[in-house]
Amino acid sequence: MKILFLSHYFPPEVNAPATRTYEHCVRWVRQGHEVTVVTCNPNHPRGVLYPGYRNRLWSVEDHNGIQVIRLLTLLSANKGFGLRTLNYIWFMLMCVLLCWRFSRPDVVISTSPQFFNGLAGYCVARLRRTRWVLEIRDLWPESIIAVGAMKEGVVTALLYRLELFCYRACDLIVPVTDSFRDYMVAKGISSEKIRVIKNGVDLDLFSASAVEKDSEVDALFAQHGLDGKFIAAYVGTHGMAHHLDTVLLAAQKIRHRTDIAFLLVGDGAERDRLLQYARDMQLPNLVMLDQMPKRKMPALWSRVQVSLILLKKSDTFKSVIPSKLFESFAMNKPIILGVEGESARIVEESQAGLCIEPENADALAAAVVRLADERAVYAAMASCGKEYVMRHFDRDVLAQRFADALNATLVGHQPVSVQP
């Protein structure tokens, strides 16, 4: 099977869409499929090219058997609205204009968000007369309205119409949660064209028993006085959706506990503001580190005690499952989850963490103190996560399910033709 995958993000970028795309594609290559990923030149989240890359019209590289085609990118930081939207539209246009240079695939997959990358799949698949699979990792425009980046109006009404058009036009929809599937069915989309493939984890990479010593990570922890402390860590994007002020406020409430520290690792639109807020609060128990490469994540997780997974309090986020949930499970790290809905049901079922109300700093502080002080509770939760993720969220199994769904689409119905 020849697979063409359109993804705005790809390694060496370290966000969730880059990881999911790579981990599926590399497994498909191992299974004997021919996989090409079309993506941007790496610049997320600062809008600055990563070292060793040039912003050319077209460049090709091999990434563990995946042919990676990088297109000329309109560089933009992952914040604001105008330039970032132009960045999204630019990538869609580049995919369409240069798709004649791609080897004709059996199937085109495009992943959304962002929205225009999803729509690029429709254009490329129709031009190359092949099947189109739309992967949905977040609901747009619901999620951008939920974080306050857009208000309901004429533009969002148009986006809702385009969203429904894409659902109807594609040959297969692959959402990452059951809640997304229910949302689509409620909009009149047949459940027969939807196949849920949830996020998961690479159990070879994220294994508490196989972590190698990392001198750089060790040095950072020593430099910031973290050695010997009970560390509650948030690792990931510092964005509008995550409301990380909650972490800072929780740290302030238990600043007297010199044995406990909070750690934030990553980058994003909110990081500079959070850094200044932390300086103003003069928190001795909070450390903020820059984004780290994916390969260092297991060593980082091995040095912390608790994983913090937080989102804003919004009905929209009740349908999401943050991918870092599964990495935390795999590393035997109890979770404090400030997300309602489907994610909370997973944590409760796994018995591998505590669920708190989103944006509640008192509840977060209390949960951290409980896990620090009640070591029997901590140990029980730590032992549950790995077993649960092995049963339900092994990336090898999920990638095979995705490949099976692609094959079924190829031997099934013909692509539909839908007018906007």
pLDDT reported for residue 290: 92
Lowest mean pLDDT among 119-123, 164-168, 228-232, 414-418: 414-418
In sequence order, what DSSP letters do the residues of 90-115 get, joined into one string? Answer: HHHHHHHHHGGGSPPPSEEEEEESSH
Structural contact between residues 15 and 50, judged by C-beta atoms closer than 8 angstroms: no
Q: Mean pLDDT over residues 6-20, rounded? A: 93
Judge whether residue 259 has pLDDT over 60: yes
57 pLDDT more than 90: yes
- Pairing of β 2-6 and β 34-40: parallel
The confidence band for 418, taking pLDDT boundaries of 50, 70 and 90, is very low
Q: In the chain, count of helices (H) and strands (E)?
A: 15, 13
- Tens-digit pLDDT profile for residues 198-225: 999 998 888 766 677 889 999 999 999 9
Query: Mean per-residue pLDDT for 25-32?
Result: 97
% of residues, the chain, pLDDT over 70: 94
Give the separation between CA 378 and CA 394, rounded to whole angstroms.
24
Residue 338 has pLDDT above 50, yes or no: yes
Question: Does residue 111 register a pLDDT over 90?
Answer: yes
Distance from C-alpha of 9 to C-alpha of 21, rounded to nearest angstrom: 8
The two structure tokens encoding residue 363: 């509840």
**How far apart are the C-alpha atoms of 326 and 393, rounded to whole Å?**
7
| Rounded distance between C-alpha atoms, residue 392 and residue 155, angstroms | 39
Are 144 and 154 contacting, i.e. CB atoms less than 8 angstroms apart?
no
**Position 414 pLDDT exceeds 50:** no
**134 and 121 in contact (C-beta within 8 Å)?**
yes
pLDDT digits (tens, 9 = 90+) for 119-152: 999 999 999 999 999 999 988 766 666 656 657 7
At 417, is the pLDDT very low, low, confident or very high (cuts 50, 70, 90)?
A: very low
Is 13 in contact with 37 (CB distance < 8 Å)? no
Residues 388-408: pLDDT tens digits?
999 999 999 999 999 999 999
Global pTM reads: 0.84
Domains of the chain: 2-200+394-411 (3.40.50.2000), 208-392 (3.40.50.2000)
- 8 A C-beta contact, residue 150 and residue 81: yes
Query: What mean pLDDT value characterizes the chain?
Result: 91
